[in-house]
Amino acid sequence: PVVMITALDQVSDRVRGLEAGADDFLTKPVNDLQLMTRVKSLVRLKSLTDELRLRASTTRNIGIEELLSRDFATEDVKPKVLLIDERKSSVERIQKMLRDSAELDVATDPNAGFFQAAETQYECVLISTAFSGFDALRLCSQLRSLDRTRFLPIMLLADEGEEGRILRGLELGINDYLIRPIDQHELMARLRTQVRRKRYNDQLRASVAQTIEMAVIDGLTGLHNRRYLDSHLQTLFDRAAARRRPLSVMITDLDRFKSINDTYGHDGGDDVLREFARRLRKNVRGIDLACRFGGEEFVVVMPDTEGAVAEKVAERIRAEIAQAPFAIGSDGKTIEVTVSVGVSSLLKGTDSVAALMKRADLALYEAKSGGRNRVVAKAA
């Protein structure tokens, strides 16, 4: 964050500084309260942004460089802003000021304004301190304590002589403030700064969530991927062993999948994989972990499931795949698809994840070499 400190004292100078990219603008002689409170606010915001950037940069695959270079100030989408103010003359002035630059909603009752802020996707909320029977800072505190509005920018509209209240507001987490009489250009410049920062941080948060999803979800089938299986299977295995509960694993392999790719191309193969994943998901429970292991191989981990039950589930999946042909492409063409399945279950004693998977893999190999389109279960 950059704070400009200058002898220039005109509102136009302040606006020029903010539009040039400064996060704040203070005029000499600098008021101690203003300096300390604004710096505190900016440091808090920078800490949040740094944390989000650090999380997002754990991968290079989410376009973070493109994101960081975007200029949100040039985006022509009007911000959606809520004004909470009970004074009619003040509301009318601000409506006039923001008529062309924001989509402004107004709440004259602070309690109604709180619920409105929580229920609608606003990009900034302006809160007046001039309520006759209500403390505006209580409203700020409530907004900061609610998950949905924790990161919503708050600007306080205060009167001259309210430095103490402004200081408490900044400690509660408000982002900025303006002293009446409010200048239109400064209001617009400060609002733009808050909206730009919110959009930027929202993009970072979305990127972090997308990155986490990309790391554990197979993009083609929507099932979990091998990376997730490798980390989660050990947890399920340890839990089952500690509680002396059963655990079973099945590995499925689409029969002659290479010939499907060779005949219908990779698009046709992708159609088959997507449909297989859909049918697989339909035939397992919510607590079962279904993953794409790689290529045309899929793994299902079934907690609290004995080997005999897992074998029946595997047979049900095999029959579900074989009984109805798979659609290929958009012209209505269909092909017959079958699947081979290997099943293994947790053994009491010195079993391990590697041994469990190895037994399922051997069972799958047996199913393939024994004629395909069948289920083989390995007890040991």
CATH code for the domain defined by 3-212: 3.40.50.2300
Domain boundaries, the chain: 3-212, 226-378
List CB contacts of 332: < 8 A, sequence separation 6 or more. none
Question: Is 123 one of the catalytic residues?
Answer: no
Angle between the N-to-C axes of helices 257-282 and 307-323, in degrees from 0 to 180, rounded to the nearest 10: 120
pTM here? 0.57
Tell me: the pLDDT tens digits for 209-238?
776 777 788 989 999 999 889 888 999 999
Q: What is the pLDDT of residues 95-146, one digit of tens each?
A: 999 999 999 999 999 999 999 999 999 999 999 999 988 999 999 999 999 9
Own/partner long-range contacts of 311-314 (Cβ < 8 Å, ≥24 apart): 311/343, 311/375, 311/377, 313/250, 313/283, 313/284, 314/250, 314/252, 314/341, 314/343, 314/375, 314/377
> In the chain, pLDDT over 70 holds for what percent of residues?
92
pLDDT at 75: 60
Calculate mean pLDDT across residues 249-264. 94
Tell me the pairing of strands 103-107 and 375-378. unpaired
* Vertex 185 angle, CA 184 and 187, to 5°: 65
First vs last C-alpha separation in the chain: 63
Instruction: Tell me the C-alpha to C-alpha distance, in Å, between residue 231 and each of 228, 237, 241, 287, 292.
Output: 5, 11, 16, 16, 14
Instruction: Give the whole-angstrom CA distance, residue 302 versus residue 247.
Output: 6
Ranges 43-52, 294-303, 319-328: which has the least confidence? 43-52
User: What integer pLDDT is reported at residue 149 of this predicted model?
Assistant: 93
- Sign of the torsion angle spanned by Cα atoms 318, 323, 328, 330: negative
pLDDT of residue 46: 81
pLDDT of residue 6: 85
CA distances from 2 to 21, 22, 195, 351 (A): 8, 5, 17, 60
| pLDDT band at residue 364 using 50, 70 and 90 as cut-offs | very high
Give pLDDT, residue 380. Answer: 47
What per-residue confidence (pLDDT) applies to 60?
43
Beta bridge partners of 254: 339
Catalytic residue among 162, 186, 296, 311: 296
pLDDT higher at 63 or 100: 100
- Given a cut of 50, whether residue 74 has pLDDT beyond it is no
| pLDDT band for position 379 (cuts 50, 70, 90) | low
Instruction: Give residue 40's pLDDT.
Output: 80
When pLDDT is cut at 50, 70 and 90, the band that residue 57 belongs to is: low
* Domain boundaries 226-378, corresponding CATH code: 3.30.70.270
